[in-house]
């Protein structure tokens, strides 16, 4: 028998499932079938041994960069946070629908933390009092909780997830911005080490606060975000904050359509008027638009409480109007490419005007107001209700064109300034300042650990199975034993690889598949699990002491001598 000291799959709980009859699987389905995880409740999953190994490797890689590159200290904050703290920071009401809230036996309000700005700020405020106590760099890797209305896509949008949070505290704006730039460089190194083609995009700070943030996106058709990048310069931005050179003009006054939305309280019907066709100024082909092209982020800049998930808003608004006693409002938002005369035509309140849906009539009980917009709220730019499309001109350079693609957000960096330190009393004494105490300058920086697992599974899946980058694979190399092969030979190969590869081979992590299964079955299982390198002891070994080395991602399949094996494994590790 193989000695217990060796890593052996027979000692790992590895509950794979049969291939579905349809044969159609996404990355999440393969994670389940390959035995990495199992669903527990909606949006909540149990990590099984292989999944836990991947998660541990992601955690270790990220933690190493936090500690070695940023000199950050690791903490572990409680998952339970105080509702009163969140109320004090001003976030309790704004995020109430996403929070798991509960009370103890004394009716004190608590919540399961989706993030820890309030708790870490309060903790630091109690200990750091003077400028010489800063800078502080504190990070944790812990489960977080968010009551997602529609959890979906497995680990990509769940109710429980694992995140790395880094919180930084500086004594001045200059040092805080220097910290921000340093963290951004380290984030790039982290994703480069995982060999993930991540785009760092300018982003909105949203509820987090502050006025500087970047998102780190992995382009994939499954993504829920859109990232816009230039083919000529380094311009990259989230669609919510991206700009383009507005060069399209409406074909005529009559080529318009309306998309209707509604607010979350169901009292405001939003008519979004946009051109059906536009003609680019450069004489290109006509562009056709549908409701799918609506720039929801721009609409939300005017109607922040828009419920973008509602497909048919009219019945909901009609019901609110019919209920009586509730102020019901009609808002018209007009794309800048439609003429002013069109906006003026919407000002009437009679059912015959374009504002009113044909199948609805205003009721006496409804208080109706009309609001027409054709410029942005700040008045600084035209109101563009059409989302950016691939081929639009870049706003940052003269020659570039934009590419818009779906992506999954894996990380986010925020410069918070004094958003939390001022609200929660995190101040320091600074010599030679007019004020004796000034709020600390803060930043927060997140990476979705469990989300990386789900995103990589989706990005690198193929018809045979998962395809892990070697840096985070559950095992980087599996030795598969065929029938009739002496297990002592597998021990020899195991030691050959380990002794020949270390310490030069990064991420070397070898396991022997000694399970009592057929060779074809074990090879299919290895492909399903996504082990980057497969070393097979089969017929060639029995006849000529030669091994077969496979790497599906690199298209490698070759027969080698045992003496060559360590160098070949080392090279594959470098290339993966």
Residue 383 has pLDDT above 90, yes or no: no
**Gap between the Cα atoms of 295 and 314, Å rounded:** 20
**Gap between the Cα atoms of 243 and 573, Å rounded:** 41
pLDDT of residue 540: 93
Domains of the chain: 52-78+113-239+403-457 (3.30.930.10), 248-387 (no CATH), 475-575 (3.40.50.800)
Interior/surface letters 481-495, b for 16+ CB within 10 angstroms, e for the rest: bbeebeeebbbebbe
Contact 70, 183 (CB under 8 A): yes
- For 505, the token pair is 């081979």
Band (351; pLDDT cuts 50, 70, 90) = very low
Q: What percentage of residues in the chain have a pLDDT greater than 90?
A: 58
How far, in whole angstroms, is CA 35 from its chain's centroid? 23
Half-sphere exposure for 477 (CA within 13 Å, toward CB)? 29
**Gap between the Cα atoms of 115 and 144, Å rounded:** 7
pLDDT of residue 507: 85
User: Region 74-79: what's the mean pLDDT?
Assistant: 97
Express each pLDDT in 538-574 by its tens digit.
999 999 999 999 999 999 999 999 989 988 998 898 8
User: Region 177-194: what's the mean pLDDT?
Assistant: 97
Between 311 and 349, the more confident residue is: 311
pLDDT of residue 392: 83
What lies within 8 Å, CB to CB, of 346 at 6+ separation is: 271, 273, 332, 334, 353, 354, 355, 370, 372
- For 246, the token pair is 């507005």
Residue 65 has pLDDT above 60, yes or no: yes
Express each pLDDT in 221-278 by its tens digit.
888 888 999 999 999 998 888 877 765 555 555 678 889 999 888 888 888 988 888 7
pLDDT of residue 4: 55
Q: What is the mean pLDDT of the chain?
A: 87
Most confident of 173-182, 208-217, 271-280, 375-384: 173-182
Contact 451, 161 (CB under 8 A): yes
Predicted TM-score of the model (pTM): 0.87
CA distances, 421 to each of 106, 119, 123, 332, 424 (Å): 29, 11, 11, 40, 5
**Gap between the Cα atoms of 478 and 513, Å rounded:** 7
pLDDT of residue 247: 53
Express each pLDDT in 504-539 by its tens digit.
567 889 999 999 999 999 999 999 999 999 999 999
Contact 273, 333 (CB under 8 A): yes
Contact 218, 408 (CB under 8 A): yes
């Amino acid at each position: 028998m193989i000695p217990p000291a060796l890593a052996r799959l027979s000692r790992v709980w590895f509950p794979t499932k049969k291939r579905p009859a349809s044969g159609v699987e996404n990355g999440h389905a393969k994670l389940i079938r390959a035995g990495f995880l199992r669903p527990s409740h909606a949006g909540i999953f149990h990590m099984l041994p292989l999944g836990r190994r991947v998660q541990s490797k992601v955690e270790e890689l990220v933690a190493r960069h936090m500690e070695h590159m940023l000199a950050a200290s690791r903490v572990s904050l409680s998952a339970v946070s105080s509702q009163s703290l969140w109320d004090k920071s001003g976030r309790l009401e704004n995020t109430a629908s996403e929070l798991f809230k509960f009370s103890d036996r004394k009716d004190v309000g608590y919540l399961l933390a989706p993030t820890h700005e309030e708790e870490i700020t309060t903790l630091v405020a109690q200990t750091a009092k003077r400028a010489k106590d800063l800078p502080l760099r504190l990070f944790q890797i812990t489960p977080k909780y968010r009551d997602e209305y529609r959890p979906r896509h497995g680990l990509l949008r769940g109710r429980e997830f694992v995140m790395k949070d880094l919180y930084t505290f500086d004594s001045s704006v200059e040092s805080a911005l220097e910290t921000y730039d340093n963290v951004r460089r380290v984030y790039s190194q982290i994703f480069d080490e995982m060999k993930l083609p991540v785009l760092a995009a300018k982003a909105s700070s949203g509820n987090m606060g502050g006025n500087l943030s970047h998102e780190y996106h992995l382009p994939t058709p499954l993504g829920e975000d859109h990232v816009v990048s230039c083919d000529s310069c380094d311009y990259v931005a989230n669609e919510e904050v991206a700009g383009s050179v507005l060069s399209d003009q409406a074909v005529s006054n009559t080529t318009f359509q309306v998309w209707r939305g509604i607010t979350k309280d169901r009292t405001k019907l939003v008519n979004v008027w946009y051109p059906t066709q536009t003609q680019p100024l450069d004489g290109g082909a006509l562009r056709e638009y549908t409701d799918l092209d609506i720039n929801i982020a721009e609409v939300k800049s005017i109607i922040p409480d828009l419920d973008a998930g509602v497909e048919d808003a009219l019945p909901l608004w009609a019901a609110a109007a019919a209920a009586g006693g509730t102020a019901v409002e009609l808002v018209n938002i007009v794309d800048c490419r439609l003429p002013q005369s069109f906006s003026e035509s919407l000002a009437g309140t009679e059912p015959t005007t374009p504002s009113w849906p044909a199948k609805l009539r205003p009721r006496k009980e409804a208080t109706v107001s009309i609001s027409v917009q054709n410029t942005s709220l700040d008045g600084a730019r035209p109101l563009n209700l059409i989302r950016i499309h691939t081929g639009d001109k870049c706003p940052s350079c003269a020659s570039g064109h934009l590419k818009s693609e779906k992506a999954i957000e894996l990380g986010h960096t925020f410069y918070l300034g004094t958003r939390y330190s001022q609200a929660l009393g995190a101040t320091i004494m600074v010599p030679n300042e007019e004020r004796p105490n000034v709020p600390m300058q803060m930043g927060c920086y997140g990476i979705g650990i469990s989300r990386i697992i789900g995103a990589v599974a989706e990005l690198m899946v193929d018809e045979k199975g998962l395809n892990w980058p070697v840096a985070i694979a559950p095992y980087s190399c599996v030795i598969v034993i065929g029938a009739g092969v002496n297990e002592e030979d597998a021990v020899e190969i195991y030691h050959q690889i380990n002794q020949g590869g270390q310490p030069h081979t990064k991420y070397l992590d070898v396991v022997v598949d000694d399970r009592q299964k057929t060779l074809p079955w074990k090879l299919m299982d290895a492909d399903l699990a996504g082990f980057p390198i497969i070393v097979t002891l089969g017929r060639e070994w029995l006849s000529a002491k030669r091994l077969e080395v496979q790497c599906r991602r690199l298209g490698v399949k070759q027969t080698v001598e045992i003496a060559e094996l360590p160098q070949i494994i080392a090279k594959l590790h470098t290339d993966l």
